[in-house]
A and B are shown apart, each in its own frame.
Chain A
């Protein structure tokens, strides 16, 4: 784990996140395929992980005792790729190949192709078990790295997630942390209210997740998933608990789908989509403060 003293400041992380968000919408728009809302809700969490938390080395992506990160919500791949590029795993220019033929940057993460990707995902609900296996293996081998898994709130409708939620505490996996990107919207979901922008909300809004996870034997924290102080504070609590409680931890991160761009934030309609030239200009201005080419 990176020592707290060497962490970038929240302001520095926010700047990285703005650039990552720009890469997300720019890449999806140029590739004319991919997801927008989920990657944008997860961006701050991903930036905090890759720039302030994970013990990793972009020059040695397979370093033996690196911390692992599994993006179980694999359709947010472009969010992960943007952060990996900014972190130095591959050139930012390579993002332009996203979803093209022969690209290392597949529509869903492929651990055999992309430097820095620890798990192939895309069929929802499978990443937590993968992470639990890594965490169990680390325990058995006596190795001291941490495994992080991110799921979406819609994703936890999948039954397999709960098989692992039930078993992970039994294995004492306090080296495993689940982050729920609780952005409140899924691709279409259920009707919930009169407001056109928020009218299909709350995939699991009827569930008290903290209580459910605590009941299953996990440590549970709820935070604002766009507040870097809160995110880093939660990561610190995970670190402090290593070898103490024997419990895995869930960080329930309250986020906003499409976060950071005015026309994508808060609407299920930007689960995926391609921006017009005018929308792209607006996003560039909002994120980078300029309409100049950001390359």
Chain B
């Protein structure tokens, strides 16, 4: 298993070596985000901006006007929250081809705690006009997404997870933007997940199968734009839909699916995600269990909802 951040550093280094338009701007976290792999391999493609995320966004947009395809590299929270106005004004409004690479996304941030956990990014970025929002599930999908993003001519946000997860896909994976991915088919419940939470959710689906529950599992690598008809086709006539995400229940995947199902007159929906509260610093397994995102806790939540139907 390879961490998405390592895949990011390696892939960007490779892309930068063959494409002069690639430039990576770092907010002094290169050894964490692994953009140090770019700095080492292709020094000309690496710009150290320092601990100044707002400046980093502004400079990236300036570079983009000269034909560069800049990638912003720092912890997600410092982009989506601290530099939010800069992304809104300078990236979204100008439709600049700037890639916002949110390393250390979501809840699992190396025990850095609530200050560094970005559990609102989907809600923020999804509301941003013209912003494409991506959350790959594993190392294979991440690499495919990064390679696709390198050619994309517009603003783009992508979650990059710090720690490895069990792979969902393999080397044969081909990314199709906007397309939902059907992972398993079952008749009792439809579970929708995104990002690396899909890996943990896939394990939850296996645990549910052991309990005699058969689930349809849909993964959304693209939260926006989304092929809604394809998504509804996969939801089918399910009576219960459960969304699972490493994000606040408010405004993220759960919010997205709520909007779609409410407009079409859909089935009962349950949103598994972080409650409307701050988390804490702790090891990954502790956080996943306490905040309801471990495979066991997700399986429990689904089983509980099925029992309540």
Contact = CB atoms under 8 A, between A and B. Distances in A.
Given A122-B89, A135-B62, A129 B50 contact: no
Contact of A163 (B47, B54, B61, B90): B54
- Residue from A134, A137, A138 whose CB has the most chain B CB atoms within 10 Å: A137
B156 interface: no
B188 to A, nearest CB: 49
Contacts of A267: none
Interface in B39-53: 44, 47, 49-50, 52
Contacts of A133: 58-65
A166 B94 CA distance: 26
A130 B44 contact: no
B61 A160 contact: no
B66 A164 contact: no
B68 interface: yes
Contacts of A127: 58
B66 A129 contact: no
Nearest to A159: B54
Interface in A129-187: 129-138, 140-141, 143, 159-160, 163-164, 166-167
A166 B50 contact: yes
A129 B94 contact: no
Interface string A178-217: 0000000000000000000000000000000000000000
Contacts of B59: 129-130, 132-133, 136, 164
B52 A132 contact: no
A123 B89 contact: yes
Contacts of B44: 140
B8 to A, nearest CB: 22
Interface in A105-137: 110-112, 118, 120-123, 125-137
A162 to B, nearest CB: 9
- For chain A, the bracket of interface size reads 20 to 34
B58 A129 contact: yes
A167 B68 CA distance: 20
Contacts of A132: 55, 58-59, 62
Contacts of B66: 134, 137-138, 141, 143
Given A112-B94, A136-B47, A166-B52, A123 B62 contact: no
Given A112-B95, A129-B58, A143-B66, 20 more contacts: A111-B94, A120-B90, A123-B85, A126-B86, A126-B90, A127-B58, A128-B58, A129-B55, A129-B57, A132-B59, A133-B60, A134-B66, A136-B59, A136-B63, A137-B63, A159-B54, A160-B86, A163-B50, A163-B52, A164-B52
Interface of A: 110-112, 118, 120-123, 125-138, 140-141, 143, 159-160, 163-164, 166-167
Interface of B: 23, 44, 47, 49-50, 52, 54-66, 68, 85-86, 88-90, 93-95
Q: Which 10 A-B pairs have the closest CB atoms?
A: A133-B62, A129-B58, A133-B59, A163-B52, A163-B55, A137-B66, A134-B62, A160-B54, A137-B63, A129-B55
